[in-house]
């Protein structure tokens, strides 16, 4: 979701206008906003609105959130309340004790953040609060009271319907993370709800896809630049793409800052133009397209194995050549940071292991072991690392797969050293290489 320009710098600057059109027939009869403090440089406020003409369980977090964004207000760490007693209490707070009778109203309230330039120093609890302001537990990200229409239904179905913007898959993830509670207790997705149950989600997941934030401050080395694509040398320690909206220090952010036309190209918005990834601590060449047509042409080459990818690795022991490592790999169920080589057919089936091929082309003695060149055209996550470890030669510095740590070095010794592919514009083979 693209964040618009900041249109308000404090709660007092807010009006009810951005909250209009929440739903057909809804009308805001009361609206209040009040700053409650500053936390980590972010001005935190409570925003409350009382509405008529809409059922409580039809007020969706996402719909309100998106409406405010369209109104030009930057929101940070939004928390929504629709439970009547708590919301009315907060409304009474921000209205300075002047809340009226809200019969036949639905009252909603938000913890609302604004980017702040002049942050008040943090207090002992991390928030500097003006005296007399509300002090209590942080409100949940989403709250819903079960009404008659939902009685007897599964909790996950009710949540997927009552919290627009949350798919069944994302609701499932919330249950797995223990974020869903009924009447204050952690609940299973299969629970059948009863009238009056108070369902809360402690924290809502961020968007699964978003545009990478342009990061012109991150310097990158362009090895090859053409009208439709670039080959870039990713430094070790730099992530290929962001995991969170607004994250800086990623290759994707540096690329979209230098080549804004890449925005929206590729598999996902957070990976603008990027054809393949490298592990954070692996350095070397990555291929990125500057337009969707070139991306599709290069993606086809990647899928059919026509892009040759070579790597230089330093590993333990003396590696003999040539060697061809043909061993399926799967995510390690005991350690989510790792993958594992699978040999047993039952394990291959159970873990859904994928075929993986690594060819050791050259080897020469080097400090603490060998310097090898390998080819892995369709390299999967951690493939070169786990394959070399599987034959008794883990990478230097790769302690995750049994390699020795090296004083003064914070990354494993693996570099994507060469890419060979067909230029979609000229039809000729092109090679980018680094030493």
Active-site annotation, residues: 279
Angle value at C-alpha 163, between 161 and 169, nearest 5 degrees: 75
Whether the CB-CB separation of 421 and 288 falls below 8 Å is answered with no
Q: Which residues of 81-104 are buried (b: 16+ CB within 10 A; e: fewer)?
A: bbbbebbbbbbbbbbeeebeebee
Percent helix, percent strand, percent coil in the chain, to nearest 5 = 20, 30, 50
Question: Which residues, other chains included, contact 427 with Cβ-Cβ below 8 Å and sequence gap of 6+?
Answer: none
What is the tally of helices (H) and strands (E) in the chain? 8, 20
The Cα–Cα gap between 60 and 67 comes to 11
Whether the CB-CB separation of 110 and 77 falls below 8 Å is answered with no
DSSP 399: G
Handedness of CA 381, 387, 390, 395 (dihedral sign): negative
DSSP 214: P
3-state secondary structure of 286: strand
């Amino acid at each position: 979701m693209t964040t618009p320009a900041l249109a308000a710098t404090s709660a007092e600057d807010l009006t009810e206008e951005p909250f209009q059109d929440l739903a057909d027939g809804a009308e805001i009869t009361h609206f209040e906003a009040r700053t409650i403090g500053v936390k980590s440089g972010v001005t935190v406020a409570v925003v409350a609105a009382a509405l008529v003409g809409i059922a409580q369980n039809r007020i969706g977090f996402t719909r309100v959130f998106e409406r405010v964004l369209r109104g030009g207000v930057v929101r940070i760490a939004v928390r929504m309340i629709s439970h009547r007693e708590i919301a009315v209490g907060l409304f009474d707070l921000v209205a300075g004790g002047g809340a009226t009778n809200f019969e036949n109203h639905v009252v909603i309230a938000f913890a609302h953040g604004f980017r702040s330039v002049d942050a008040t120093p943090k207090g002992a609890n991390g928030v500097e609060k003006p005296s007399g302001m509300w002090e209590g537990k942080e409100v949940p990200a989403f709250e819903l009271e079960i009404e008659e229409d939902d009685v007897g239904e599964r909790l996950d179905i009710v949540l997927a319907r009552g919290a627009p913007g949350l798919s069944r898959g994302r609701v499932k993830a919330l249950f797995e993370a223990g974020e869903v509670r009924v009447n204050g207790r952690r609940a299973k997705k299969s629970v059948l709800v009863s009238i009056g149950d108070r369902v809360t989600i402690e924290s809502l997941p961020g968007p699964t896809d978003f545009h990478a934030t342009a990061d012109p401050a991150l310097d990158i080395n362009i090895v090859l630049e053409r009208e439709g694509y670039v080959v870039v040398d990713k430094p070790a320690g730099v992530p290929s793409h962001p995991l969170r909206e607004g994250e800086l220090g990623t290759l994707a952010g540096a690329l979209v800052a230098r080549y804004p036309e890449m925005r929206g190209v590729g598999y996902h918005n957070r990976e603008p133009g990027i054809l393949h990834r490298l592990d954070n601590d692996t350095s070397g060449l990555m291929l990125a397209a500057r337009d969707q047509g070139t991306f599709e042409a290069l993606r086809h080459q990647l899928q059919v194995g026509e892009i040759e990818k070579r790597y230089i690795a330093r590993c333990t022991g003396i590696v003999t050549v040539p060697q061809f490592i043909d061993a399926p790999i799967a995510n390690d169920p005991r350690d989510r940071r790792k993958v594992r080589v699978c040999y047993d057919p039952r394990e291959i089936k159970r873990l859904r292991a994928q075929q993986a091929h690594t060819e050791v082309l050259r080897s020469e003695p080097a400090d603490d072991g060998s310097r090898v060149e390998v080819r892995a055209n369709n390299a999967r996550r951690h493939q070169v690392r786990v394959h070399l470890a599987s034959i008794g030669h883990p990478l230097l510095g790769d302690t995750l797969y049994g390699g020795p740590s090296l004083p003064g070095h914070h990354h494993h010794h693996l570099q994507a050293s060469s890419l060979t592919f067909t230029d979609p514009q000229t039809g000729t083979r092109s090679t980018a290489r680094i030493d």
